[in-house]
């Protein structure tokens, strides 16, 4: 949330207020915008649906750059979770029965075919068919 502060350069009775973004927002916002543009440009040649426009509960083909991966540990059934982005939105991809998939890591591009659904305000895809591109 933006904070209003007094402008130290204001003269006399003028008490001009300026809006200042929080420190973290100032640091991350421009890089996030640049990164989104970079990812969109990297994926523009692929014939896929943008993640932000992917219809729910319908078979769809999407693509994204891997942002992060995690795997389950302990007694639960193994799962490998991958967060991908295409510059328009993020998608959590869950592979059940595996703790990792060779070749899938941050920075790689995946083309995914499956059904997107929303759970707890987050888009997800379970066990999609995938193609590893770069």
Position 23 scores a pLDDT of 54
Here the tokens at position 103 are: 């070749």
Sign, Cα dihedral of 18, 23, 25, 30: positive
The 10s digit of each residue's pLDDT in 15-25 is: 444 445 555 55
Cross-strand bridge partners of residue 19:
4
Beta strands in 13-119 (DSSP E): 17-20, 59-71, 79-85, 90-96, 109-119
| Residue owning tokens 């219809």 | 55
Match 């896929």 to its residue by tokens: 48
- If you average pLDDT over residues 57-68, what whole number do you get? 94
């Amino acid at each position: 949330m933006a904070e209003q502060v007094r402008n130290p350069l204001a003269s006399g009775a003028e008490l001009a207020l300026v809006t200042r973004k929080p420190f973290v927002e100032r640091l991350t916002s421009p890089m996030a915008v640049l990164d989104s543009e970079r990812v969109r440009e990297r994926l523009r040649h692929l014939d896929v649906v943008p993640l932000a426009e992917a219809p729910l509960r319908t078979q769809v083909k999407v693509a994204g750059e891997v942002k992060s991966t995690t795997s389950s540990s302990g007694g639960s059934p193994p799962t490998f979770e991958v967060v991908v982005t295409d510059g328009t939105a993020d998608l959590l991809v869950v592979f059940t029965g595996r703790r990792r998939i060779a070749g899938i890591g941050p920075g790689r591009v995946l083309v995914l075919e499956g059904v997107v659904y929303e759970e707890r305000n987050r888009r997800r895809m379970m066990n999609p068919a995938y193609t590893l591109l770069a």
